Amino acid sequence: MTMVLTPLEDEDSGLRSLSETAAGDLLRGFRKRELWGRLGWLDVKRRYRRTTIGPFWTSITLAFYVLTVGTVGAAIWHQNIYDYLPFLVSGMIVWTLVSSIILESCSLFIAGQSLFRNIRFDYSVLAYALVWRNFLVLLHNFAVYFLVVVVLKPSLLSFTALLAVPGLALVLVNAVWVSLLFGMFCLRFRDVPPLVASVMQIAMLITPLFWPADTLTGIRRFVFIDLNPLYHVVDIVRAPLIGQMPDPISYGVMIAMTIGGWWLTYEMFRRFRKRIAYWS
């Protein structure tokens, strides 16, 4: 990745060009932690304004889902409920995070138009806010995981579980480029958001969330698991949460995705950043 670092000038010093570089946008945007932190947090808060338990509503929905689907699923897949529920809940937590980031990134710039068409804006702020917002929701959902695990299998709360943290960090780093790239793409080509929505619906069924990855063998396993990036995304966070080591391949894929994804996004952002306001 060739990132040319230009010094970030202060607003008030000397004659400066109004055009912003892609790197400048990404860095300056990131430095506005106060702003994207606030935008992300307010979004969470607004959704549940005037409710009593607020964002925990998503957690409660998740808990219901896991309990009911989990009971049925344990029977279908002939699983022990003490293993199956923690597996399902940790998978669903990560899936909720990943799928809502992907779906929301489709409307990142479409919904943000009113902002950047009226004021000068670092576009990356919107992406950081999106990821931050979903991270906050994730934290609420973790309550369900703890509840399930403490009741059913407290032994899972070990040092292995801590491996979920670097995994999650990798996921979030990737989430930023996904938001930016999908955001730009969907702003320009308005056919993409519905397409992404239907792909995600199918992806939920073919990614091993409800059934263990080992159910599949041979060519099927290769196609739906090894070649499925979403599996690796889920795996590096889920595996530690159910007391397993993530597949080394998953780490490899994630690191490759981080580098490749950021390189692609940076190139696209560098070339088309200027056009975002015009596309809207």
Partner 1 sequence: MATVILENVNAHFPIYGAQQRSLRKALFQRATGGSIEREGKNNDRVTVKALTDISLTLHDGDRVGLVGHNGAGKSTLLKLMAGIYEPVSGTIKVEGRVTPLFDAMPGLDSEDSGYENILTSGMLIGMTRRQIEAKIPEIEEFCELGEYLSLPVRTYSTGMTMRLGFALVTAMDPGVLLMDEGFGTGDLRFAERAEARMKEFVGRSRIMVLASHSDRTIRSMCNKAVMMEAGRIVASGPVNEICDRYYESVHAAAEADRQVKQSGMAALSGYSASNAAGKEQIDAEGRIENVGLVDRLSRSNGSARMTRVAAQDANGNARWDFVPGETATFRFEYKILERVDNAVILFRLNFMTPGGGEVIFAERREVLSSEPLEAGYEGVLELSLQVPDLMPNQYLPYIWLGRTSNAGAYDVVDVNIGLPAFVVRPSAEQEPRSGIMSLAFEARKSGTLAQDILTKVDAL
If one asks whether residue 20 binds partner 1 (CB under 8 A), the answer comes out as: yes
Q: How many CB atoms lie within 10 A of CB 214?
A: 9
69 burial type by CB count under 10 A (0-12 exposed, 13-18 middle, 19+ buried): middle
If one asks whether residue 78 binds partner 1 (CB under 8 A), the answer comes out as: no
If one asks whether residue 115 binds partner 1 (CB under 8 A), the answer comes out as: yes
Tokens, residue 156 = 């899972």
Which stretch, 7-15, 102-110, 193-201, 243-251, contacts partner 1 (CB under 8 A)? Answer: 7-15
Give which of 42, 205, 200, 30 is closest to 106, Cα–Cα.
200
If one asks whether residue 19 binds partner 1 (CB under 8 A), the answer comes out as: yes
Distance between CA atoms of residues 37 and 34, nearest Å:
5
Helix (H) or strand (E) holding 116: helix 108-116
Nearest distance, CB of residue 182 and partner 1, angstroms: 18
Distance between CA atoms of residues 228 and 185, nearest Å:
21
Site string for partner 1, 171-190 (x = CB under 8 A): -----------------x--
Q: How many residues bind partner 1 (CB under 8 A)?
A: 31
If one asks whether residue 191 binds partner 1 (CB under 8 A), the answer comes out as: no
Choose which of 15, 202, 205, 219 interacts with partner 1 (CB under 8 A): 15
Choose which of 120, 154, 155, 198 interacts with partner 1 (CB under 8 A): 120
151 burial type by CB count under 10 A (0-12 exposed, 13-18 middle, 19+ buried): exposed
Nearest distance, CB of residue 102 and partner 1, angstroms: 24
Choose which of 119, 202, 205, 219 interacts with partner 1 (CB under 8 A): 119
DSSP 222: I
Chain residues binding partner 1 by CB under 8 A are 11-12, 14-20, 32, 34-35, 38-39, 42, 46, 49, 114-121, 188, 274-275, 277-279
